[in-house]
Structure 1
Amino acid sequence: MAVFQRSRKWQWIDLISVLLFVCHLGYVVMNWHSLPTAIPIHFTISGDINNYGNKGFLALLPIVSLFLWIPFYLLEKRPHLMNLLNLTEENKARKYREGQWVMNIVKNGCLISFTFINMSLFFYAFEDKAPFGQVFFWSGMFFIGVVVIGPIIVFIQSLRLDFKQ
């Protein structure tokens, strides 16, 4: 079972993402007692609240985040387990790096976006901090865009390099 070295840059991105996640969890746990029992969990396109749920809903996104982050982390360390297109002995190292980069974008982008979206739900629970909630919500949406667009860019670049060879 081969484990490939990840770059320092990717390790720093992991560290920042995990620290952000842990700080968010700590903040929610410390303020759990002050949360109302019913919190807003769904909004219209204009930002109006149209559904409420139990405050336990705030535990859902962190759990989903971990269930996504951990397998992607393990897969990033073992890129030979990925199903990569047009893999040859000549381009194996490049393809593995590209696969690792995509895994890093997806795992950390999901972790950050879910953390920001969860933080927005937390702030929406306190009506006086709703503008703060919007900032976190749109930041989360930005990272979802990164998760979708980042791998597409890597894939297109990889195809271009494949056709040059």
Structure 2
Amino acid sequence: MKIKRSKYDTIINFLSLLCLIGTASILIISWKTIPNEIPGHYNAVGNIDKITNKNSLIVLFAVGWIMFIGVSFIERFPQIWNTGIQVTEQNKERVYRILKNMIGTVKLLVVLVFSYLTLHSITGKNLSPLFLPIFLVLMFGSITVFIFQLLKDK
């Protein structure tokens, strides 16, 4: 099944690509000024708990791209999605549109987080203690909104 590309899909993909390309540009431009040792991991409250080499920024950045490409690939095959509800001829357009919007939103949030962590690591500072709670609220909050849309008028 092919789902028509919507304006929402276009905006989400544009913002994701803009974020990834912007992160790449900043890394390339500032590579020589990035300290050799940078934070490699943060604990749940945002404190640095591992120091690593700046080359790990490349890995973190690559994971962001891999996630973007992987989720973009999965978006193309709605027949493999677990919808959680019975898909019929009458509701399939609506169900798959809602799920595609949810997947796109999650994709954007993941790209934003990986880009943010990549760029924030350059500073060598702790994350805000609010980073994890805000990310979790955005991620699970948006998923919850889409699930409610999906279950509405079931």
Q: Which has the higher contact order (CA 8 A, sep 6+)?
A: 2
1:1-165 equivalences in 2 (<5 Å): 2-43=1-42, 47-84=46-83, 85-124=85-124, 130=125, 134=127, 142-162=134-154
Query: Whole-Å Cα distance in 2 between the matches of residues 113 and 140 of structure 1?
Result: 10
**22 and 140 in structure 1: CA distance in 2 versus 1, 3 angstrom threshold:** farther
Q: How far apart are residue 3 of structure 1 and its match? A: 2.9
Do 1:42 and 1:50's aligned partners in 2 also have CA atoms closer than 8 Å? yes
8 Å contact kept, 1:113–1:141: no
Give 2:93's aligned amino acid. Answer: A
Note the aligned Cα RMSD (angstroms).
2.4
Going from structure 1 to structure 2, the CA distance change for 1:44 and 1:8 (only over 3 Å counts) comes to closer
**CA displacement at 1:25 relative to structure 2:** 1.0
Q: Which runs of 5+ in 1 are unaligned?
A: 125-129
Which secondary structure state, in structure 1, belongs to the residue aligned with residue 113 of structure 2? Answer: helix
Identity %: 22
Using the TM superposition, give the Cα deviation of residue 139 of structure 1 relative to its aligned residue in structure 2, in angstroms.
Answer: 6.3
Query: Which piece of structure 1 moves more, 30-39 or 47-56?
Result: 47-56
CA deviation after TM superposition for structure 1 residue 60, in Å: 2.1
Question: Under a length normalisation based on structure 2, what TM-score does the superposition of the two structures give?
Answer: 0.83
Q: Is the 8 A contact 1:39 1:53 kept in 2?
A: yes
| Partner Cα distance (1:32, 1:141) in 2 | 30
* Partner Cα distance (1:141, 1:59) in 2: 26
Compared with structure 1, are the counterparts of its residues 52 and 99 closer, same or farther at alpha carbon in structure 2 (3 Å cutoff)?
same
Higher-Rg member (1/2): 1
Unaligned runs of 5+ in 2: none
